[in-house]
Amino acid sequence: MTDGVERSAFAALSAGGKNQVMVLGVGTAEGGPVQTAPGQYLTDATGARVFSKLDVDGLKALGDAGVPVATLTLDDADVKWVQRKAQSHLQVVEQADARLRWKDQGYWFVIPLALLMSLWFRKGWTLRWSV
């Protein structure tokens, strides 16, 4: 959830893999004053009120880079959007994992283990370990 995106973050956010980044924009393009307490607003060094605006152009550029982007809404459309995106991404990841076949090569460990365990039956072997 953000109101703007740094241009340098595009590469990190659009990188593929098992994890998916979804960006949900909060705010409006017109913006509004940042309220710190009831009746009190954040001011800059000159005493002017600080306005927080939604960086629409930055979020559009991020969407063009391949990152799913939406804005916060008053109804539950944004929640449904997040659910749809997450479910579709999980399905893609599950399908990719299903194509990978685990190759069990553990039986190669049995031969050295059997040789080591054969020494355990020597007379006095366990006594040397305990003394």
pLDDT (tens digit per residue) in 53-87 = 888 888 888 888 888 888 888 898 988 998 998 89
Say which range, 15-19, 105-109, 127-131, has the weakest mean pLDDT.
Answer: 127-131
CB 87 within 8 A of CB 66: no
Listed by start position, the domains of the chain span: 7-130
Rounded to two decimals, what is the model's pTM?
0.57
User: Tokens in use for 37?
Assistant: 């307490």
pLDDT recorded at residue 13? 61
E strands, the chain, in order = 23-25, 32-33, 35-37, 40-41, 51-52, 69-71
